[in-house]
Amino acid sequence: MAVRIVPSADVSDDAVIGDGTSVWHLAQVREQVVMGRGCVVGRGAYIGTGVRMGDHCKVQNYALVYEPAVLGDGVFIGPAVVLTNDTYPRAINPDGSLKSADDWHAVGVTIGKGASVGARAVCVAPVTIGAWATVAAGAVVTRDVPAHAIVMGVPARQVGWVGRAGVPLEQADGAWVCPQTGTVYEEFEDTIREVASK
């Protein structure tokens, strides 16, 4: 499948864009980005220098993915999400001079396979969001999120577990069950793991 980049998008010649990926109106994809196959970058989204994205990721309209973020396969980034990269931001140095790229060290957000970050959520780097986790719309993530966790609020707190289908799991007989697929999970260390399917 061919790459589709609309004329109003700004995609660096130095970016690597996977087959079947679409980059829509007014999006910007910076230098040294590596983007997998079948991705979608929505209107006005920004993908910073050197960001790594797996296959089949969706970055929705006006999301800001600052470097050095790393997104696993199948990650969903909702509209107007911000993945930050500066723990202590300042425009100027103590002497009043304007900060440059050499005056700070970028830290990134890492997001595991299949995870989703809802609209207008902010992930404050450096944090890791585990595989298949869900960050609710409007949440502010300031600490790592375990795989399969659902987090919401400001600051974000875990409120449940979610399976691969993206729906909250239900507790039954000491285990967790996906109401959509019937997959059974058990708690294991700081997350859950799949046990069986119906």
The predicted-structure confidence for 83-112, as pLDDT tens digits, reads as follows 999 988 999 999 999 998 888 889 999 999
Q: What pTM does this model have?
A: 0.95
Query: Contacts by 179-187 with C-beta closer than 8 Å and gap 24+?
Result: 185/148, 185/161
Instruction: Identify the residue whose tokens are 């890492």.
Output: 110
Residue type, 184: V
Q: Would you list the DSSP string of 62-94?
A: T-EE-TT-EE-TT-EE-TT-EE---SS--SB-T
Give residue 64's identity as a one-letter amino acid code: L
> Can you read off the two tokens belonging to residue 150?
């659902």
- Distance between CA 151 and CA 159 in Å, rounded? 6
CB 31 within 8 A of CB 15: yes
Return the amino acid letter for 53. M
Phi, psi (rounded to 5 degrees) for 101: -60, -25
d(CA 83, CA 64): 6
For the chain, list the domains and their CATH numbers: 4-153 (2.160.10.10), 163-198 (no CATH)
pLDDT, one tens digit per residue, over 32-82 is: 999 999 999 999 999 999 999 999 999 999 999 999 999 999 999 999 999
pLDDT in tens, 109-166: 999 999 999 999 999 999 999 999 999 999 999 999 999 999 999 999 999 999 999 9
